Every structure is written in C-alpha cells, then in structure tokens.
C-alpha cells in the first residue's frame, strides 16, 4: 500500500533525493539516511516496512547493517532490499546471504522502482 513507510539508506545525495521524490510521489512515507549510523538513529523513532539499502556505505557497510537489523527482533521483520551499483557475479548472493529480501541494481530505473517497492511490500519477489 502506498502509504507504507520506507527508509532509504544511501550515501549519494542525488540518489537519496531521486528515490525520495519518486516514492513520496507515490504516497509512501519516506525518510532518508546517508550512512548506517544515521539509519540506526532514524530507526529509533521511525518504523519502516521496507528499507532500500545501498551496500557501499562509509563506515559500516550495507551488508553489515542488514545483518545487524535482521538479527535484532525489533527490526527483523523489516523488508530490506539492496539498491546498489554492485552488479558483479556473486554480489546478489552476498546481499541475500546478509539478509536482503531483494536486490535492485543501479542506475535506478525510475519507471520500475515504485512497482518493485510495491511488489516487495506485498510479499512478492522481483
């Protein structure tokens, strides 16, 4: 449902703005974070149903953050979808092994992203 809460974690300001505008335009309640520490701070007061997670973050990377969230009962039910420029063989398997429920590669397809988010929120697979 488009009123669902989504957290976008990405260290690229243009990607954050693009995805935030796309999803807010679809009616999602969107918050953003530029790194893992900021994401953890946002999660203290905001409970998203889905996190779009960049894997290449400064400090704690997206894989580490995903493992941490999936091992925490307070956050383990959040759908986490990797949104990443990593597209080499084995990268999707690494993301899924860390706990990502989905994997979307950059550059961002502005037409497909809202539909992919809706599919993941509905419990489907991309």
The domain spans of the chain are 5-121
**What's the helix, strand, coil split of the chain in %, to 5?**
35, 20, 45
The pLDDT of residue 67: 98
The string over 14-48, giving b where at least 16 C-beta atoms fall within 10 Å of a residue's C-beta and e elsewhere, is ebbebbbebbeebebebbbbbbbebbbebbeeeeb
Beta bridge partners of 79: 50
> What are the residue ranges in the chain where pLDDT is below 50?
126
Say whether domain 5-121 belongs to CATH 3.40.50.720. Answer: no
Confidence at residue 29, expressed as pLDDT on a 0 to 100 scale: 97
**How many angstroms separate the CA atoms of 115 and 60, rounded?**
29
Number of CB atoms found within 10 A of residue 100's CB: 25
Alpha carbons 2 and 112: distance in angstroms, whole number: 15
User: Are the beta carbons of 52 and 6 closer than 8 angstroms?
Assistant: yes
The whole-number pLDDT of residue 2 equals 63
């Amino acid at each position: 449902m488009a009123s669902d809460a989504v957290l976008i974690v990405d260290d690229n300001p243009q990607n954050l703005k693009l995805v935030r505008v796309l999803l807010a335009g679809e009616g999602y309640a969107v918050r953003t974070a530029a790194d893992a520490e900021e994401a953890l701070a946002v999660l203290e007061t905001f409970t998203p149903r889905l996190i779009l997670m960049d894997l290449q973050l400064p400090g704690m990377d997206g894989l580490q953050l995903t493992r941490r969230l999936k091992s925490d009962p307070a956050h383990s039910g959040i759908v986490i979808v990797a949104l990443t420029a990593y597209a080499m063989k084995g990268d999707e398997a690494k993301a899924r092994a860390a706990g990502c429920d989905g994997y979307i590669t950059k550059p961002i397809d502005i037409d497909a992203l809202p539909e992919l988010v809706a599919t993941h929120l509905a419990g489907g697979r991309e």
